[in-house]
Amino acid sequence: MSGTSTEEMIRIGDVADEQIAIDRVKLRDGNRFESIAEMGRILKDVRRRKFDLVIDLNSLYETNLLGFLSGAKHRLFANRDRRSIDRLSNFPVKPPTEDKTKHHTDRYLAVLEALGLNNLDRTVTITPPAESVENARSYLKERGIENKTLIGLFLGAGHPTRRWSIENFVEVAERLSKDARYQVLIFLGPEERDLRDGLDELFGDTAIVVDEMPLSDFLAMLSFLTVLVVGDTGPMHLGAVAGTGIVLLSEISSPTFFRPLINNLRVLDDRPLVQITVDQVVSAVSELAN
């Protein structure tokens, strides 16, 4: 099962035979009667499939309840203090109590040890669809930059208060564009559509502002980058699974257990976000790109 934000990534990654997409936000915030009816439909669909085993890694009250009502003979739920209903899990080997000091990947892998799955790889790489790779390659060839060292700047951050200033990004692009080896590409997501007006003029010849594109094409474009400069948001993880080096612009006190488990990661978090300097970012990019 997945929420709508991850549904397409599961499809692109080809990690499941089938998925049941559930929009938890819509169920929570939508019309109460419609939400109840939708939950009934979901439960009916789940029970119809007659699952043998349910594994609940997020292990929230509502997901535990769904797992219990699914009719599955075996139920393995993560043991999360004050978040899960442990008595609804019946797997003979109990996973350890969630250790909140560990990275989320390690928390999930600890649950799977109950299945005898040990020493699993902590990282993953997702190959974009061939058609999307070809779309990205054509985009770069049309602009004559396929042989450049490509540096991406993602301007969004999920919430305006977590964005590094556009003026800083413009200065980074100006600095990097002085090196003939580099080509800077500017990316924005659907949540940043209001920022697009005037960006071409603002960046001028120092960067190319890339049009909005489907997620699979965006992932393919990221796979051609050498470095992506990004805040603590979804594209950070997309860049990581695409194999791109990441310069993470992070708040000084942000948690570390969501960060990508990759070697080519440079985190700038030694000061408040607004105080991260252009020099720091350019230096981190140069370190990863050379």
pLDDT of 80-129, one tens digit each? 988 899 999 999 999 999 999 999 999 999 999 999 999 999 998 999 99
The pLDDT of 155-180, averaged and rounded, is 92
pLDDT band at 4 (very low <50, low <70, confident <90, very high): low
Residue 102: the pLDDT is: 95
Tokens read off for 126: 């997702």
The closest alpha carbon to 250, from 220, 225, 279, 281, belongs to: 281
Residue 160: the pLDDT is: 75
The pLDDT of 241-255, averaged and rounded, is 93
Cβ pair 56, 67 in contact under 8 A: yes
Distance, in Å, from the CA atom of 229 to the CA atom of 23, rounded to the nearest integer, reads 30
What's the whole-number average pLDDT of the chain?
93
Residue 112: the pLDDT is: 96
Q: Residue 21: is its pLDDT beyond 90?
A: no
Cβ pair 128, 12 in contact under 8 A: yes
Cβ pair 249, 268 in contact under 8 A: yes
Q: Residue 5: is its pLDDT beyond 80?
A: no
Of 20-29, 54-63, 183-192, least confident by mean pLDDT is: 20-29
Residue 2: the pLDDT is: 45
The DSSP output letter for 227 is: E
For domain 130-289, give the CATH number: 3.40.50.2000
Sketch the domain layout of the chain as residue ranges: 4-115, 130-289
